[in-house]
Amino acid sequence: MSSRPFVACAAPARLADARWRPGLIAQPFHSEIFAPAHEASGAGLALALACDALAAAGGDDETRQVLWVQDRAAIRLGGRPFLHGLPPDLRHRLIHVAARTPADALFALEEGVRCRDLAGVIGEIAGNPRALDFTASRRLSLTAERHGVQLWLVRLDAAADLSSARMRWQVRAAPSAAPRWNPAAPGPATWHARLFRARAHLPGEWMLCDDDGTLRLQSDRTASDAPAATAPDPFGMARATVGRSLAARLPA
């Protein structure tokens, strides 16, 4: 361990960073997201966090691939990713792995975080399989930190057992803000997220929403949009910026 070629780990907790917020530079390399299986909130938040981390880290050349691993139970419960519903800058660079068993899924996750050419790894494992114990999660954490590839592991309908993930979220879907053009329609993706274990941050609860590809706090978004309108439409009919980069859309 003394001759590690590349050591990457989360920044130590500082007072300023004590509260988590979207857009932080130093993101942990292994996060767990607990979500109900009958909704896509887990995968949605994982993707939003991934986009957030990639945008915050900068230098993401948009050619590196993203690996999405699902085990069979997760596919049966929540379906497979749908190309036309993915964030636009992930559509052309997603590699999907359909593993039969949780053990295979863990193998694929470990191979993924070991690969230097991947931008990130998203995993979906249903329940609390025996293969995913503390040892397995510690293996994933150490490998991810050693190779500097970020991993977001979505646990569907799982109890929060022992794990070495650096950040652990509990998420569920939340009622969305009404879109500007059709208040009767569902709005942008909104989640109620609870961070219940983190190394560098205080635990807390947030209402997060996906504002046109950018992860925002619900309170920030409504405050910033209040002068203009009640809420913008979710699917970018009145979008001003056309750039593909997520960072370009961050408010100055």
Partner 1 sequence: MRLADARALCPDLAAVPADPAGDLALLERLALWAQRWGPWSAIDPPDGFLVDVTGAAHLFGGEERLLGEVVRAFAGRGLLARPALAPTAGAAWALAHHGPAQAILAPGDDPLRLLGDLPVAALRLDADVLAVLRRLGIKRIGQLAGLGGAGAGAGAEAAMRDALARRFHHHRTPAANPLLRLDQLLGKVPEPLLPVRARLVPLVQHRLCEPLRHRSQLDRVVAELAEAMVRALEARSEGARRLELMLWRLDGAVLERRVELAAATREAGHLARLLASRLEDVEAGFGIELVQLRASWSEPLALSQADLEAAAEQHGTALAACIDRLVMRLGRGAVTRPVPRASHIPERAQEWQPPLAPLAPSQAGLAFHARPLKLLDRPEPIAVLHAAPDGVPQRFGWRGAVRAVVRVEGPERIAPEWWREGGRARLRDYYRIEDEAGRRYWIYRRGIAGDGRGGPPDWFLHGLFA
Pattern of binders to partner 1 over 147-186, x per CB under 8 A? x-x----------------------xxxxx-x---x-xxx
x/- map, 1-40, partner 1, by CB under 8 A: ----xx-------------------------------xxx
Span near partner 1 by CB under 8 A; candidates 21-29, 71-79, 127-135, 223-231: 71-79
The amino acid occupying position 177 is A
Please give the Cα distance from 233 to 35 (Å, whole number): 26
Q: What is the dihedral sign for C-alpha 102, 174, 96, 162?
A: negative
Residues 179-218 close enough to bind partner 1 by CB under 8 A: 182, 184-187, 189-190, 192, 210
CA distances from 13 to 82, 89, 120, 163, 194 (A): 37, 31, 23, 20, 19
Among 12, 85, 227, 243, binds partner 1 (CB under 8 A): 85
CA gyration radius, the chain: 18
Tell me the window of 14-22, 50-58, 81-89, 215-223 that interacts with partner 1 (CB under 8 A). 81-89
Tally of residues, the chain? 252
Question: CA angle, corner 147, sides to 143 and 151, nearest 5?
Answer: 65
Strands 167-173 and 151-156, bridge-based pairing: unpaired
The Cα 50–Cα 81 span in angstroms is: 15
Give the amino acid at 171: V
CB < 8 Å & 24+ apart, contacts of 205-212: 206/20, 207/174, 208/22, 208/45, 208/48, 209/176, 209/177, 210/44, 210/48, 212/188, 212/236, 212/239, 212/249
User: Which residue in 11, 13, 18, 100 binds partner 1 (CB under 8 A)?
Assistant: 100
Among 53, 56, 118, 132, binds partner 1 (CB under 8 A): 118
Question: With contact defined as beta carbons under 8 Å apart, do 246 and 54 qualify?
Answer: yes
Which span (80-88, 127-135, 151-159, 243-251) binds partner 1, by CB under 8 A? 80-88
Binder of partner 1 out of 9, 24, 26, 96 (CB under 8 A):
96
237 binds partner 1 (CB under 8 A): yes
**Residue nearer to partner 1 on the CB measure, 99 or 126:** 99
Choice from 22, 31, 32, 44 touching partner 1 (CB under 8 A): 44
Residues forming the site for partner 1 (CB under 8 A): 5-6, 38-41, 43-45, 47-48, 65, 75-76, 78-86, 91-92, 94-100, 104, 107-108, 111-112, 114-118, 147, 149, 172-176, 178, 182, 184-187, 189-190, 192, 210, 234-237
